[in-house]
A and B are shown apart, each in its own frame.
Chain A
Amino acid sequence: MAVATEQQILDGLAEIIDDIVGIDKSEVTPEKNFIDDLDIDSLSMVEIAVAAQDQFGVEIPDDELRNLKTVNDVINFVQKLQQ
């Protein structure tokens, strides 16, 4: 799988979040905290991680998921593993 740019990961993630929890794509910006800003709970985060895995080809295990607090954390995590 080709390495995705930061913008591509953001767009893909925004689409996944819209699909799973119905939050408008424009709300999903890098600085947003999933729990505090987007009101996404831990179970939805698991669903998002599973969808992200399918889309970006990067596994996000539960142990790692706990540390991914913001949209930017996920972008960095995906980019790091894709390289």
Chain B
Amino acid sequence: MTAPLTLRLPELVTGSRILAFGDHQPARVVTNDDLAREVDTNDEWIRSRVGIVERRIAGPEEGIVELAVQAGGKALAGSGLAPADIDLVIVATCSAETPMPSHAAMVAHRLGIQAPGAYDLNAACAGFCYALANADAAIRTGMARHVLVIGAEKMSQWIDWTDRSTCIIFADGAGAAVVGPASSPGVGPVVWGSDGAQADRIMIADRNSYIRQEGQAVFRWATSAIAPVALEACERAGVRPDELAAIVPHQANLRIIDAIARKVKAPGAVVAHDITHSGNTSGASIPLALSHMIERGDVPSGAPALLIGFGAGLAYAAQVIQIP
């Protein structure tokens, strides 16, 4: 009689942490006045309703891979690691030009990362938080040692530039993080979920369509359902809201950001307002915002930040991380 089969598994790793962030935005700035010349809108209305002053829009030669390579390269440089140290690349995006091949494999190749695991992940505006959760789990279970996580979006290619309800909101950009093993966990448990019953609230219906969203219904959902998810992420990470140094909600709309922050009640936290000059870059917005905050010295290294992703799906995810 043979013994029951028991396969060997890698040793578990205690935790993971983010070693460095990187960001990249296209050079072209589009102001509210620029848009007001094309559609019936104006600067005051956009600022008061959405909170955007200007946004960045990529040119025809600058695709998602290019945006992701720039941001990923900066994060990699900041981490002090070599390309060979990375063994998994995840690109969170919901605005792909084409469904295959994955952006992740092309990005890895462009960065000189040899033969990593590579895949794209679509959880729309919650994509970065989902990807970070996967990176953390991969490191802790021994599937990967160092992971490059990138949120990269070219929303502009899915925008109807004659639709004033959407063209004022969305923008292009990328943010990246290098995640590695840590004896003291720096990525907290993810609280995530989705509600497919509301799938039609934000969608691109088919390959010939543009982004369409039910603004008021999404606003109601985001301002009511998301704060409890964020608070649960704090609870599960063992961090009190008053200990947070930063709150980085998906940069959907300044009013949603402030409504969520108000409910989290973190008096000591800097709240990301990156939307004002970056627009809504969907899955890129959280790492883009946090990377900008770190560059400006707005947030202290080592302190806890709360990341809160939410959007099409409807999908959502939140976790507390240690700022690198």
- Interface residues in chain A, defined as those with a beta carbon under 8 Å from any beta carbon in chain B: 19-20, 41-44, 46-47, 49-50, 53, 62
State the total of A-B contacts with C-beta under 8 angstroms: 25
Contact A47 B49 (CB under 8 A): no
Are the CB atoms of B223 and A46 closer together than 8 Å?
yes
B216 adjacent to A50 (CB under 8 Å): no
Residues on the B chain within 8 Å of A19, using CB: 262
The proximity string for B residues 230-271 relative to A, scoring 1 for CB distances below 8 Å and 0 otherwise, is 000000000000000000000000010001001000000000
Which of A19, A20, A42, A43 has most chain B Cβ within 10 Å? Answer: A43
Whole-angstrom CA separation of A42 from B262 in the bound complex: 19
A56 to chain B, nearest CB (A): 14
**Using Cβ atoms and an 8 Å threshold, which residues of chain B touch A53?**
224
DSSP majority for the B interface?
Answer: helix
Given A41-B48, A41-B49, A43-B49, decide whether A62 and B224 contact each other with a Cβ distance below 8 A: no
Complex Cα–Cα for A42 and B255 (A)? 12
Q: Are A47 and B259 in contact (CB under 8 A)?
A: yes
21 CB < 8 A contacts A-B: A19-B262, A20-B259, A41-B48, A41-B49, A42-B216, A43-B49, A43-B219, A43-B255, A44-B255, A46-B216, A46-B219, A46-B220, A46-B223, A47-B223, A47-B255, A49-B220, A50-B220, A50-B223, A50-B224, A53-B224, A62-B217
Residue of B with least CB distance to A19 = B262
| Segment 164-220 of B: residues with Cβ below 8 Å from A | 216-217, 219-220
Residues 16-57 of B contacting A (Cβ, < 8 Å) = 48-49
Question: How many residues from B make CB contacts under 8 Å with A?
Answer: 11
Which residue from chain B places its CB closest to the CB of A53 in the assembled complex?
A: B224
CB distance from A1 to the nearest CB of B (A): 18
Which residues of chain A have C-beta atoms less than 8 A from B49's C-beta? 41, 43
Bound-state CA distance A53–B225 (Å) is 13
The CA-CA distance from A2 to B202 in the complex, in Å, is 38
CB distance from B219 to the nearest CB of A (A): 5
Q: Other CB < 8 Å A-B pairs besides A19-B262, A47-B255, 19 of them?
A: A20-B259, A41-B48, A42-B216, A43-B219, A43-B255, A46-B216, A46-B219, A46-B220, A46-B223, A47-B223, A47-B259, A49-B220, A50-B220, A50-B223, A50-B224, A53-B224, A62-B216, A62-B217, A62-B220
Closest B residue to A50 by beta carbon equals B224
Question: Which residues does chain A contribute within 8 Å of B219, judged by CB atoms?
Answer: 43, 46
Inter-chain contacts of A62 with B (CB < 8 A): 216-217, 220
> Given the complex of chains A and B, what is the CA–CA distance between A49 and B216 in angstroms?
12
CA distance A62 to B49 in the complex (A): 17
**Measured between alpha carbons, how far is A60 from B32 in the docked complex, in Å?**
33
Q: CB-CB < 8 A to A49: which residues of B?
A: 220
Residues of B within 8 A of A42 (CB): 216
Chain A residues with Cβ below 8 Å from B223 are 46-47, 50
Cβ contacts under 8 Å, B216 to chain A: 42-43, 46, 62
Residues of A within 8 A of B220 (CB): 46, 49-50, 62
CA distance A41 to B220 in the complex (A): 14
Question: Once bound together, how far apart are the Cα atoms of A30 and B12, in whole Å?
Answer: 62
Q: How far is the CA of A44 from the CA of B262 in the complex (A)?
A: 14
A41 partner residues in chain B, CB cutoff 8 A:
48-49
Interchain nearest-CB distance for B34 vs A (Å)? 24
| Cβ contacts under 8 Å, B224 to chain A | 50, 53
User: A37 CA to B223 CA in the complex, in Å?
Assistant: 24
Name the 6 nearest CB pairs between A and B, nearest first: A50-B224, A46-B220, A47-B223, A46-B219, A43-B255, A62-B216
